[in-house]
């Protein structure tokens, strides 16, 4: 009876995995297919595979340059999110100061405000007041602090035993030293989660960079692909293939990052450093 339940569970998990993988399979087949994708039941299309779809999209937009722009934008956002998220999460979880509860409540309220509502005032502030239009800094600044990252780090820091921090302070460690040497190694799953969640946002963001810069040489890949799809994709030899080729290029780094970091999604033994 127990064995049959395990078999049924594995079958259901396998079917769920296939349903999850199928869109990626369809995207890859369409990206490399010679003719427009109509049949998806064949593992290898009868028309054969080609790189012309990637060549066609590269001839219309600077694919390498757009990838570099996306990398600059995303890495800048990641550095700010992780740095400020760690500091703010540690402060709201482990430091005792007046107004700590109010700060946390304000952080939760900020999460309820959609970013789209702030885009117009942010655009006016950055471009007209600070003159940061057509700059990488103008694209990065609004995303430097992510309240979701602060919340994730705070919840993980709250799970750590207080005795670890007391021992570090008795040894003369400063708060930054305690954060770096004691707390950070124990919240690796939170760090990986924040990196993945943060990476997906700016990597796929196209509306805000499109507002900040109209220069084709500074546009991230998502913006360049959106312009390509809306304007010149239909004139390609295989419009569907070109669009799916662009989607494959955009999705590839996210998939690779997840595959590299997924083994770190494990619970940390936070009590291993406590005696008794």
Phi, psi of 272 (to 5 degrees): -70, -20
Mean pLDDT estimate for the chain: 81
Chain segment 191-237, per-residue pLDDT in tens: 888 888 888 888 888 888 888 888 878 888 888 888 777 766 666 67
Query: pLDDT higher for 264 or 129?
Result: 129
Q: What is the pLDDT of residue 72?
A: 92
Q: What is the pLDDT of residue 75?
A: 92
Is 37 a residue whose pLDDT tops 60?
Answer: no
CATH number of the domain located at residue range(s) 63-231 in this protein: 1.10.3720.10
Residue 131 backbone class (left: φ over 0; alpha: ψ -120 to 50; beta: rest)? left
Q: What is the pLDDT of residue 79?
A: 93
Chain segment 175-202, per-residue pLDDT in tens: 888 888 888 888 888 888 888 888 888 8
Query: pLDDT higher for 209 or 1?
Result: 209
Average pLDDT of the residues in 65-78: 90
- Looking at the chain, the number of H-run helices and the number of E-run strands are 13, 0
Helices (H), 95-219: 100-111, 115-124, 136-140, 147-159, 162-170, 175-178, 188-204, 207-212
Q: What is the pLDDT of residue 179?
A: 84
Q: What is the pLDDT of residue 271?
A: 46
């Amino acid at each position: 009876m127990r064995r049959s339940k395990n078999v049924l569970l594995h079958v259901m998990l396998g079917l769920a995995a296939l349903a999850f993988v199928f869109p990626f399979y369809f995207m890859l087949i369409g990206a490399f297919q010679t003719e427009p994708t109509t049949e998806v039941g064949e593992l290898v299309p009868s028309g054969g595979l080609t790189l012309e779809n990637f060549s066609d999209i590269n001839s219309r937009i600077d694919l390498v340059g757009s990838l570099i722009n996306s990398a600059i934008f995303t890495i800048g956002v990641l550095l700010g999110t992780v740095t400020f998220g760690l500091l703010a999460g540690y402060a709201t979880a482990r430091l005792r100061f007046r107004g700590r509860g109010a700060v946390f409540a304000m952080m939760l309220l900020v999460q309820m405000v959609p970013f789209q509502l702030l885009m117009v005032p942010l655009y006016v502030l950055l471009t007209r007041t600070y003159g940061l239009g057509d700059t990488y800094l103008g694209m990065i600044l609004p995303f430097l602090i992510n309240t979701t990252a602060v919340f994730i780090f705070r919840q993980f820091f709250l799970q750590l035993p207080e005795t670890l921090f007391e021992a570090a302070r008795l040894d003369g460690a400063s708060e930054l030293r305690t954060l770096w040497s004691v707390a950070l190694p124990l919240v690796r799953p939170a760090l990986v989660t924040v990196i993945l969640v943060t990476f997906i946002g700016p990597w796929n963001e196209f509306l805000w960079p499109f507002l900040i810069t109209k220069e084709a040489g500074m546009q991230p890949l998502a913006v360049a692909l959106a312009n390509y799809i809306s304007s010149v994709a239909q004139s390609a030899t295989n419009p569907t293939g070109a669009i799916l080729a662009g989607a494959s290029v955009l999705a590839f780094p996210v998939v690779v990052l997840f595959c590299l970091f997924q083994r770190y999604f494990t619970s940390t033994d936070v009590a291993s450093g406590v005696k008794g």
